A and B are shown apart, each in its own frame.
Chain A
Amino acid sequence: MFPTPIDKTSSATRVAYKVALPVALLLWLLPLLAVALTSVRSSADITSGNYWGWPTSFNLVENYTAIFTNSPLAAYLLNSFKVTIPAVLGAIALSSLTGFALGIYKFRSNLFVFFLFVAGNFIPFQILMVPVRDLSIQLGVYNSIYALILFHIAFQTGFCTLFMRNFIRTLPFDLIEAARIEGVSDLRIFWYVVLPLMRPALAALSVLVFTFVWNDYFWATVLTQGAHAQPITAGIKSLNGEWIAAWHLVSAGSVVAALPPVLMFFLMQKHFIAGLTLGAVK
């Protein structure tokens, strides 16, 4: 049997496995542990340089209350939701339509258009920083959540189209032909036949895109400034005082910022993993 189950291997291998696994895990999780631990330290620990040692006091409640009372973190958090949810909905809605068009219709430039969507993913988005900022100013959306929603939809649709088109290609084409012979219009085929069958892909993609958009820092800092529009990823830095580094508060803010995608992942874990492997089999 390949691979041989661990409990059937020699005792040396088993011991090595049991030692190496926790060590590897610890190494892997060390940065996260450090952030989590720092988020409950007192400011005295930070100033005295006690970054890695045992905290002198546990300020869990104080720190996590402070970030919400002493700074507009709640506003940043709300902005994150206001940006992420419409962006996910928009990208999914657009890409299921483009995916349907590219997956079902045979037209001359089908493959070319598809490659355009795919090729867009390979452009490093940093080089678009200046043009996108200028464009957002001209559109009058600069420094508002609409700028972020708009550009996230635009940037995510490429990847989502690739994903959706490939998923729709795996659906039996007979279903569409059967509906067509029955005289069902194309839009109704999309809505009543294809969309219900795409549910696993929709779920998986929503989770993925939610994580992508939520975790974005680049566009958040390029397109917005201030608590009225910036999402939490960009807003965390406001927890630092102008002259003093309050790393314990920044850490607490980071933990709060990381919670929604983590929760989303655990709630939708099945779909998330399905999304990563979708289309890999068959």
Chain B
Amino acid sequence: MAGITLNKAIKRYGAVDVIHGIDLEIEDGEFCVLVGPSGCGKSTLLRMVAGLEETSGGDIHIGSRNVTRLDPAARGVSMVFQTYALYPHMTVAENMSFGLRMNGHPKAEIAAKVKAAADILKLNDYLERKPKALSGGQRQRVAIGRAIVRGPEVFLFDEPLSNLDAELRVEMRVEIARLHKEIGATMVYVTHDQVEAMTLADKIVVLRSGRIEQVGTPLDLYHDPDNRFVAGFIGSPAMNFVKATVRDGRVHAPGLSDEAFAVDIALPPNGTDLLVGVRPHHIAIDPQGASHTLIVKEALGAMFHAYLEAPTGERIVVEVPEAEAVGLQGEVGLRMGPDRLLLFDARTELRLR
């Protein structure tokens, strides 16, 4: 029974704050993904929870205990590193049992725990091998196994899949999701890959330069982002943004269409600058139109990505089904429902609702 509570957590290197007072509540048993561009402080935040980085201000609770000043070992957490951090001179079984052996657990208990973890991760055939003789995916499984045998309250994952190739990454993603279901422990997972975040998380925390931009379920963030950063970060291909202005109670976005859009949001006064965001698959191509120029189309199989240039010079990406995309060339028009448009204040980049 252990959730995690961060209370105005601050990390300071000298005079520079890298984490600016984070408040975050992670429920017991929740899968929480910290996501953000590189340098946003997501790994630092995770290492603060692990106790590998000192917390400069605020406090961190795991369950009911204040662990802010505790040693990593006393926090009841297990961590899986991006580099796997397997001891190269030990076999798989020795790697998994190392922590328990060093802390004087009885031999029979250790053997049973290693066996249980190996069963969960299908590592039984590899127990006597050294990490060198394992593939990337197997090494990562051993690293996870090492985390499991300690039976921690909280699992911490620091970009565990980024050293794997694309195919293996998908496989391990499913594996980790299954593991979470089976073990039911609280998990905190750091990644820069928003697809991993979307597929794994119960709760996503989007970070940017040491601040939380938004917290919510994957679909909340996808459909209802609070600001332009979250809207642009979540979703692949990324959301299109074009400049727009308010005119006579309508949104005029020349990068999308000559006609103004009527929206059912209370709009700011005439002449206010806005940003309009629209996802690539919410736009349809009108072959009869001639408002945009097709620059490149990328074939992804059933779907194509068409890169268009608006008369304003703005770039628009549109997702087009294969059947429509094949003959596409030259000048085309766009169609989209006004209810699909997300409006942002051009200055603060906050969402208008």
Interface residues of A (CB under 8 A from B): 172, 174-175, 177-185, 188, 192-193, 196-197
Chain B residue at minimal CB-CB distance from A178: B85
19 A-B pairs with CB atoms under 8 Å apart are: A172-B85, A175-B85, A177-B81, A178-B81, A178-B85, A179-B99, A180-B52, A181-B51, A181-B52, A181-B72, A181-B73, A182-B99, A182-B103, A183-B72, A184-B103, A185-B102, A192-B102, A196-B89, A197-B88
Decide yes or no: A180 and B72 within 8 Å by CB, A172-B85, A174-B85, A197-B88 being known contacts: yes
Which residues on B sit within 8 Å (CB–CB) of A172? 83, 85
Is B98 an interface residue when CB atoms closer than 8 A count as contact?
yes
Which residues on A sit within 8 Å (CB–CB) of B52? 177, 180-181
Decide yes or no: A174 and B81 within 8 Å by CB, A181-B52, A181-B73 being known contacts: yes
Complex CA–CA separation, A184 to B102 (angstroms) = 6
Which residues on B sit within 8 Å (CB–CB) of A183? 72-74, 99, 102-103
Residues 31-64 of B, flagged 1 when their CB comes within 8 A of A and 0 if not, give 0000000000000000000111000000000000
Which residues on A sit within 8 Å (CB–CB) of B71? 180
Which residues on A sit within 8 Å (CB–CB) of B89? 196-197
Task: Judge whether A179 and B98 touch: CB under 8 Å.
Answer: yes
**A100: shortest Cβ distance to chain B, in Å?**
16
Task: Judge whether A181 and B98 touch: CB under 8 Å.
Answer: no
Task: Judge whether B103 and A178 touch: CB under 8 Å.
Answer: no
Task: Judge whether B87 and A181 touch: CB under 8 Å.
Answer: no
Contacting A at CB under 8 A, from B84-123, are 85, 87-89, 98-99, 102-103
**A180: shortest Cβ distance to chain B, in Å?**
5
Which residues on B sit within 8 Å (CB–CB) of A193? 87
Complex CA–CA separation, A193 to B98 (angstroms) = 10
From A174, A180, A188, A196, residue with most partner B Cβ within 10 Å = A174
Complex CA–CA separation, A177 to B50 (angstroms) = 10
Complex CA–CA separation, A169 to B121 (angstroms) = 33
Chain B residue at minimal CB-CB distance from A189: B102
Complex CA–CA separation, A178 to B72 (angstroms) = 10
Which residues on A sit within 8 Å (CB–CB) of B88? 197
**B244: shortest Cβ distance to chain A, in Å?**
48
Task: Judge whether A184 and B99 touch: CB under 8 Å.
Answer: yes
Contacting A at CB under 8 A, from B202-227, are none
Is B240 an interface residue when CB atoms closer than 8 A count as contact?
no
Interface residues of B (CB under 8 A from A): 50-52, 71-74, 77-79, 81-83, 85, 87-89, 98-99, 102-103, 146, 150
Task: Judge whether A181 and B83 touch: CB under 8 Å.
Answer: no
Which residues on B sit within 8 Å (CB–CB) of A196? 89
Which residues on A sit within 8 Å (CB–CB) of B79? 177-178, 181
**A181: shortest Cβ distance to chain B, in Å?**
5
**A61: shortest Cβ distance to chain B, in Å?**
49
Complex CA–CA separation, A174 to B84 (angstroms) = 8
Task: Judge whether A192 and B98 touch: CB under 8 Å.
Answer: yes
Which residues on A sit within 8 Å (CB–CB) of B73? 180-184
Which residues on A sit within 8 Å (CB–CB) of B50? 181
Report which of A177, A182, A185 forms a contact with B98, defined as CB distance below 8 A: A182
Decide yes or no: A182 and B85 within 8 Å by CB, A177-B52, A188-B102, A192-B102 being known contacts: no
Which residues on B sit within 8 Å (CB–CB) of A182? 73, 78, 98-99, 102-103, 146, 150
Complex CA–CA separation, A207 to B192 (angstroms) = 47
**A96: shortest Cβ distance to chain B, in Å?**
16
Report which of A175, A180, A188 forms a contact with B87, defined as CB distance below 8 A: A175
Which residues on A sit within 8 Å (CB–CB) of B146? 178, 182
Complex CA–CA separation, A175 to B71 (angstroms) = 17
Chain B residue at minimal CB-CB distance from A172: B83
Chain B residue at minimal CB-CB distance from A180: B72
Chain A residue at minimal CB-CB distance from B156: A181
**A35: shortest Cβ distance to chain B, in Å?**
44
Complex CA–CA separation, A172 to B87 (angstroms) = 10
From A177, A185, A193, residue with most partner B Cβ within 10 Å = A177
Complex CA–CA separation, A46 to B102 (angstroms) = 67
Complex CA–CA separation, A218 to B50 (angstroms) = 53
Which residues on B sit within 8 Å (CB–CB) of A181? 50-52, 72-73, 77-79
Complex CA–CA separation, A183 to B98 (angstroms) = 10
Chain B residue at minimal CB-CB distance from A183: B73
Which residues on A sit within 8 Å (CB–CB) of B99? 179, 182-184
Complex CA–CA separation, A60 to B89 (angstroms) = 49
Complex CA–CA separation, A182 to B150 (angstroms) = 8
Which residues on A sit within 8 Å (CB–CB) of B85? 172, 174-175, 177-178
Chain A residue at minimal CB-CB distance from B158: A174
Complex CA–CA separation, A197 to B89 (angstroms) = 7
Which residues on B sit within 8 Å (CB–CB) of A178? 79, 81, 85, 146
Task: Judge whether B87 and A184 touch: CB under 8 Å.
Answer: no
Which residues on B sit within 8 Å (CB–CB) of A192? 98, 102
Top-3 shortest CB links A-B? A182-B99, A183-B73, A174-B85
Complex CA–CA separation, A107 to B77 (angstroms) = 25
**A185: shortest Cβ distance to chain B, in Å?**
7
Task: Judge whether A174 and B72 touch: CB under 8 Å.
Answer: no
